[in-house]
A and B are shown apart, each in its own frame.
Chain A
Amino acid sequence: IAGITQAPTSQILAAGRRMTLRCTQDMRHNAMYWYRQDLGLGLRLIHYSNTAGTTGKGEVPDGYSVSRANTDDFPLTLASAVPSQTSVYFCASSDSGGSPYNEQFFGPGTRLTVL
């Protein structure tokens, strides 16, 4: 593994189903983030974690949950998917959250379609 990986690459999901998007980084970064990217809108922060064992809500957290059991993994769960959650989801990490100048490194993204 080099950098950040995300799985699956893409997924078509029926509304009402539960789905977990996986994210793993091998850079030993403390902070990790989940964003969604929709056409015509900027990246919007869903949830973040400044260090293992802690999580926080971003701009659009409703319908999503996260956990951070260890430094490397930061899964995002949709408990009951709805069509408005159709989007491209990016996981990112940085050396340290809660401080200035921390370049975020992004995973390749997961394209999710909810029908």
Chain B
Amino acid sequence: GQNIDQPTEMTATEGAIVQINCTYQTSGFNGLFWYQQHAGEAPTFLSYNVLDGLEEKGRFSSFLSRSKGYSYLLLKELQMKDSASYLCAVMDSNYQLIWGAGTKLIIKP
């Protein structure tokens, strides 16, 4: 079966760095996406990785290792507005997104 695993909840301090991990087992791989979802709102796109390595975009970076079926999202200089759920999704061989349940990130002052 297809499976995306990520921690249910994480807590971090304002100004700090946090790493959210995602492991996956899917039928085929056509890239991995990270989305941000604030409570009561729609998911919004953060990043896409299809090759191994690190993609940096401002305070957010995303890493992929295809051989390990592993990705992480790194958030630096945390701000209170970063409190949200972070969703990991893998595009499978049918070009459909398989979604993890999301990681709720709580930022404390």
Contacts and interface: CB of A to CB of B under 8 A. Distances in A.
Contacts of A108: 41-42
B28 to A, nearest CB: 10
Interface residues of B, number: 22
Interface of B: 4, 30-31, 33, 41-45, 48, 50, 87, 89, 91, 95-102
22 contacts: A42-B98, A42-B100, A42-B102, A43-B99, A58-B96, A90-B42, A98-B95, A100-B30, A100-B95, A101-B30, A101-B31, A101-B48, A101-B50, A102-B95, A103-B33, A103-B45, A106-B42, A106-B43, A106-B44, A107-B42, A108-B42, A109-B42
Interface of A: 35, 40-45, 48, 58, 90, 97-109
